[in-house]
Amino acid sequence: MFDIGWSELVVIAVVALIAIGPKELPGVLRTLGQWMAKIRQMASEFQSQFQEAMREAEMADLKKHAADLNDAASALTKPFEAADYLGTLDTTPPAADAATTAAASGEAAPSEAPAAAIAEETASPPAPGSAAPGDAGESAPAPPDAPAKGAA
């Protein structure tokens, strides 16, 4: 702590011997030793109290950390529920959502439109002599009391 060598100590001892005198020097050294012991004891007590406070603070921190680890472990052991992590989200799939929207507006859902077109293309061709309504060259059916075309 202090950088005092032997030569400095000899100088201090000679000055003390001259200033105090040889008769009272042992009593002064004894008193100085008692004060030094009291100062060391107070420093030791302060140091031990400081270390105890540090241990208590560290223990509180360790207890908090252990509680956090226990919470994390309990979260791992409970069953997974998406609502716990995601909150309340719309859980309908996108395709079903589009079909629901289209049905509400009266339109065909986008996924149903290609299916209807494929069904029309793969339908069996009309029998010879019979044509489907809307084909080229055919008119709409005549009313029952009207004469047929070409018959007069």
- Cβ pair 108, 102 in contact under 8 A: yes
pLDDT winner (highest mean) among 16-20, 47-51, 112-116: 47-51
Among 83, 110, 114, 87, residue whose Cα is nearest residue 99: 110
Question: Rounded distance, CA 40 to CA 1, Å?
Answer: 14
Phi, psi of 35 (to 5 degrees): -65, -40
Report the pLDDT averaged over residues 73-87: 73
Percent of the chain whose pLDDT exceeds 70: 53
Residue keyed to tokens 């986008």: 110
Residue keyed to tokens 């997974």: 80
Say yes or no to pLDDT of 58 above 80.
yes
pTM: 0.37
